[in-house]
């Protein structure tokens, strides 16, 4: 569990660093390994935008409860590349990858 958390933090931190470079030059200047980090960081950030019950009146989206076990599996799937075919835009407010 701790390994997964540290990997997620590392990917998200590097994603934020690459964000500025991407905004200026685009992903074509990034090496393949950095492009992968950028893509998975973007997916993680999108996935972590979960629909909360308390935010329903503001977002007009129903809240969703995601089991910790399911959250763990989803994050692991993103980090391992199992969700590479999913656009990050499709991960916003989805609750779980299983939906």
Q: Domain coordinates of the chain in residue numbers?
A: 2-91
Query: How does residue 91 score in pLDDT terms, banded at 50, 70 and 90?
Result: very high
- 3-class DSSP assignment, residue 41: helix
Q: Looking at the domain covering 2-91, what would its CATH class be?
A: mainly alpha
Q: Residue 36: how many CB atoms within 10 A of its CB?
A: 14
The per-residue pLDDT for range 44-78, each reduced to its tens digit, is 999 999 888 998 998 888 899 999 999 999 999 99
The whole-angstrom separation of Cα 95 and Cα 19 is 25
**For residue 12, how many other CB atoms are within 10 A of its CB?**
17
| Rounded Cα distance, 38 and 15, in Å | 5
Predicted TM-score of the model (pTM)? 0.88
């Amino acid at each position: 569990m701790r390994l997964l958390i540290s990997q997620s933090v590392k990917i998200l931190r590097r994603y934020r660093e690459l964000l500025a470079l991407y905004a200026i030059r685009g992903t074509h200047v990034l090496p393949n390994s950095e492009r992968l980090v950028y893509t998975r960081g973007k997916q993680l950030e999108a996935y972590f935008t979960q629909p909360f019950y308390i935010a329903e009146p503001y977002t007009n989206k129903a809240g969703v409860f995601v089991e910790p076990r399911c959250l763990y599996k989803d994050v692991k799937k993103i980090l391992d590349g199992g969700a590479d075919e999913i656009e990050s835009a499709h991960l916003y407010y989805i609750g779980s990858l299983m939906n």
